[in-house]
Amino acid sequence: MTSGAATSASAVDWPKTLRLVPGYDPWATAGECTFDASAADRAVGFFAEMLVHVKGEWAGKPFVLAPWEQAIVGNLFGWKRPNRTRRYREALIYLPRKQGKSLTASGLALYMLFCDGEPGSEIYVAASEREQAKLIWDVAKRQVLANPLLSDSCTVYQNSIVIESMGSSFKAISADANTKHGYNSHCVIVDELHAQQDRELVDVLVTSTGARRQPLVVYLTTADFARESICNEKHAYATKVRDGVIEDPAFLPVIYEASPTDDWADPQVWARVNPNLGVSLSVEYLERECARAKEQPGYQNTFRRLHLNVRTESDVVWIPIDKWDACRADFLDTPRNFESLPGGATKSVPSASPISSAPSTVGRPRMTLPMRRTS
């Protein structure tokens, strides 16, 4: 996302731009698919020529895609199968917070609604809560109302955008999977995949695309915690596709993330995993948040997960491991004796068990406890 005036979409260097997706080469698994530069140009041009920013300092200015966003849109709409339908059916867009995901997602949905030529297309944006899904839909509504060509071609209702002549619609939906089994989805955008409590809604929506010739399902999310979840499942699958472990030419893996071993306080790491740094996300903001994480250990995991897309073991850190390690040396080097009290004792202590600590060769305290107290 840039704030400048619209530029000619045909000026895009597609062989270079398409490879901006981190660690992924779309040509490696293309097989019989071919890249149609004119189709990619049309999709990218739609953003710059038909859509505007609707919030903040750039409100009213053309929505010109940044090169990393052109890579996503160009790959999704430029690649064609031998039957001329789109190559990609699914995409994971795995980004830290404040990268302009909602604006880009609204543009994808509107392009599918107005330009894909699918009769009776059903386009849905879903999330764990309807209010979250409405964030993308509301952006799309404002983009439509800001363009007379678009607004004259459809009817904007309270919860839907409808093209009556095509029988097509775009809606934000709730997370209740039980009410979605009758859908015939052409495009589904699942926002904040990490917030899904289970896989049911995602599975219902994905299977609702089966009757369409060239459906598209896009998952938008920041990192989840380390747990069993549909978000982590999709991330694991996308990573294997990116790395060539799984060959799935219909899945586009767009993964921006730091590794657990990266220095989370390094501005170069911030720049690598936040493609919109300096545009929708300021360097000053990250500097302040990083300083906060250094002073408040409980915020460290929040910073790493939301701003660097690192999957963390828990929501907060009670004490940083480096500080824990720094204060354990004296304890490890000096044998000590303690007494263990029964956990349920409150007023009287009927017995106590001796515990001894001794230096450990593996760097952790070694405790010796008797198996049973006999006297």
The structural domains of the chain, ordered by start, are: 9-255 (3.40.50.300), 267-323 (no CATH)
Contacts of 326 (CB under 8 A, 6+ apart): none
Provide the pLDDT for residue 154.
97
Provide the pLDDT for residue 141.
95
Provide the pLDDT for residue 34.
98
Write the DSSP assignment of 108-152 as a string of letters: HHHHHHHHS--TT-EEEEE-SSHHHHHHHHHHHHHHHHT-HHHHT
Provide the pLDDT for residue 56.
82
Euclidean distance between CA atoms 293 and 224, whole angstroms: 19
Contacts of 213 (CB under 8 A, 6+ apart): 85, 118
Euclidean distance between CA atoms 268 and 229, whole angstroms: 30
Provide the pLDDT for residue 336.
55
Provide the pLDDT for residue 129.
79
Q: How many CA atoms lie within 13 A of 223 on its CB side?
A: 25
Euclidean distance between CA atoms 22 and 366, whole angstroms: 45
Euclidean distance between CA atoms 23 and 313, whole angstroms: 25
Provide the pLDDT for residue 328.
57
Provide the pLDDT for residue 132.
82
- Tell me: the pLDDT tens digits for 143-188? 999 999 999 999 999 889 999 999 999 999 877 656 667 789 999 9
Give every residue of the chain whose pLDDT is below 70, as ranges.
1-10, 176-180, 314-375
Kind and range of the H or E run holding 97: none
Is 123 within 8 Å of 209 (Cβ atoms)? no
Provide the pLDDT for residue 179.
62
